[in-house]
Amino acid sequence: MPSLEQLLNFDRLHVWHPYAAMPNLLPVFPVESAQGVYIQLMDGRSLIDGISSWWTCIHGYNHPHLNQAAHAQIDRMSHIMFGGLTHQPAVDLAMKLVAMTPAELQQVFFCDSGSVAVEVAMKMAVQYWYNRGLPQKQRFLTIRNGYHGDTFAAMSACDPVNGMHHLFGNILTQQYFADAPQIAFDDDWQQRDLDSFAALLAAHHDRIAAAIFEPVVQNAGGMRFYHPEYVRQAKALCEEYNVLLILDEIATGFGRTGKMFACEYAAVCPDIMCVGKALSGGFMSLAATLTTREISETFAAGEAGVFMHGPTFMANPLACAVSLANLALLESYDWQSTIRSIETQLKAELEPCRSLAAVKDVRVLGAIGVVELHDPVNMQAIQPRFVEEGVWLRPFGRLIYTMPPYIIQRSELTAITSAIYKIVDRI
Ligand SMILES: *Cc1c(COP(=O)(O)O)cnc(C)c1O
């Protein structure tokens, strides 16, 4: 057994971490195990997880229901190819997703990660218009401050500044970027918020296959909560201009915002919807792209006769079985009131941060609490401070935020909000 020091040393020199340099200059903390909302570090310390392993682990770690579903599935088969074969976990999960999502979404494409779900959605939109005899509709309209993943098509729809699009020059498709919505979630709606989106649509709809954005909450692109009316009117405009609407619910889906899906705030059903992240309860990677019969039924008659996508690990049975157990768990308790109490507590306990000198804004929606600072945080300095306080958070840019597991107890959430106050106070 290598020592902890050897492990960290090899890690630092040879193992890439997300958005890291090589050798890695930022601290990483070795994890021994995780249970409920607690992350057990190898040095013996225990941390309360305030961000659910990037918003995935909604029911906490090592959950007996999910473990049991995984064990049962492993004993049958952990994987089988999906070309020419099918299985109960995929069909059951598809049935569940069709039932949970807005009614028109009837067809499910399973894939491995959120970014791929977005790739699939974008390809589906382009191929749909090809099927319909409009092959010039190949571009996308999106809104600034969005985040849709790190693969090329997904990245082309991310915020061009945050995503450093200039690094990738010509290989990144140029999309149309509307101004980010400015009217906050619960402010009074003002029509001009949609002007930029509407103008781009009017000018370029002939070439636009779909609009793509995150409904109501922009997540990794700035943790911004905007007015549901934007989503509703954007959908109406898309219909008027013969442009599809792709809603990326990868971060917002499965209850996080207080609705099962954020599009429900606007009572909008997209033409294509992407889900991922919390789908498997953080157990393993699985995502899906859902669409309507109207779109899916054009493929058989198109030139290819099929939709041109099919990942090797498509509908992995283990991931499907665990996801099914996770969604059954979500439906087994009153998650709406769970999210409402997290929201009430976050509002009460984060509000005092507003008076701190470093703080620009405090906002809460559902189980998402955000403290926005005037200046970017120093990650190298701030991450270890949170660890010293016994909580796991991962601030980025000017944002310190929490998206805790839904199972978090009041006292544990207070530990997170107190740590945020204490550390922001010292900035
Ligand atoms: C995380 C995220 C993605 C990308 O998902 P990965 O699983 O990291 O590929 C796409 N869209 C949104 C809104 C996300 O939050």
pLDDT in tens, 374-427: 999 998 899 999 999 999 999 999 999 999 999 999 999 999 999 999 999 999
Closest residue by Cα to residue 323 from 50, 84, 59: 59
DSSP one-letter code for 123? H
Closest residue by Cα to residue 139 from 221, 237, 233, 211: 211
| CB contact set of 52 (below 8 Å; sequence gap of 6+) | 58, 278, 282, 403, 404, 405
Residue among 52, 56, 111, 148 to mutate when testing ligand 1 (max atoms within 8 A of CB): 148
Q: How many CA atoms lie within 13 A of 221 on its CB side?
A: 29
Q: How many CB atoms lie within 10 A of CB 201?
A: 22
Residue environment code for 238-270, b if the CB has 16+ CB neighbours within 10 A, otherwise e: beebebbbbbbbbbbbbbbbbbbbbbbbbebbb
Rg, C-alpha atoms of the chain: 22
Distance CA 274, CA 294 (A): 17
Closest residue by Cα to residue 58 from 398, 314, 391, 322: 322
Atom of ligand 1 nearest to the CA of 118: 10
Query: What pLDDT sits at residue 45?
Result: 97
Name the pairing type of β-strands 208-213 and 244-248: parallel
DSSP letters of 359-390?
EEEEEEETTEEEEEESS---HHHHHHHHHHTT
Which tokens sit at 419?
Answer: 């740590």
Residue 277 is among the residues annotated as catalytic for this protein: yes
Question: Does the Cβ of 249 fall within 6 Å of ligand 1?
Answer: no
310 annotated binding-site participant: yes
Residue 40's pLDDT band (cuts 50, 70, 90)? very high
Residue type at 331? E
**Is it the case that residue 294 has pLDDT exceeding 90?**
yes
CA distances from 42 to 33, 47, 184, 188, 389 (A): 8, 11, 42, 49, 17
CATH number of 77-331: 3.40.640.10
Name the residue with higher pLDDT: 170 or 194: 194
96 annotated binding-site participant: no
Write the pLDDT tens digit of every residue in 203-244.
999 999 999 999 999 999 999 999 999 999 999 999 999 999
DSSP letters of 131-174?
HTT-TT--EEEEETT----SSHHHHHTS-TTTTTGGGGGGGSPP
Query: What pLDDT sits at residue 209?
Result: 98
DSSP one-letter code for 358? T
pLDDT mean over 48-74: 98
**Is it the case that residue 307 has pLDDT exceeding 80?**
yes
Helices marked H in 188-277: 195-204, 228-240
Query: What pLDDT sits at residue 344?
Result: 98
Greatest alpha-carbon pair distance for the chain in Å reads 64
Residue 25's pLDDT band (cuts 50, 70, 90)? confident
CA of 148 to the centre of ligand 1 (A): 5
Entry field: residues in the chain:
427
Query: Per mean pLDDT, which range of 91-105, 161-175, 206-220 is the poorest?
Result: 161-175
Distance CA 231, CA 254 (A): 18
Distance CA 390, CA 420 (A): 11
What percentage of the chain exceeds 70 in pLDDT? 100
pLDDT mean over 33-58: 98
Which tokens sit at 13?
Answer: 């020199």
Atom of ligand 1 nearest to the CA of 251: 15
Where do the domains of the chain lie? 4-63+334-425, 77-331
Q: What fold does the segment set 4-63+334-425 form as a domain?
A: Aspartate Aminotransferase, domain 1 (3.90.1150)
Q: Which of 49, 112, 159, 248 is catalytic?
A: 248
Structural contact between residues 208 and 140, judged by C-beta atoms closer than 8 angstroms: yes
Write the pLDDT tens digit of every residue in 102-126.
999 999 999 999 999 999 999 999 9
Which tokens sit at 328?
Answer: 């059954």
pLDDT mean over 258-263: 98
CA distances from 83 to 74, 299, 364 (A): 20, 17, 44
CA distances from 115 to 16, 251, 420 (A): 19, 12, 30
Residue 182 CA, chain-centre distance (Å), reads 21
Residue 147 is among the residues annotated as catalytic for this protein: yes
325 sits in which H/E element: helix 317-331
114 annotated binding-site participant: yes
Name the average pLDDT for the chain: 97
**Is it the case that residue 169 has pLDDT exceeding 90?**
no
Query: What pLDDT sits at residue 2?
Result: 75
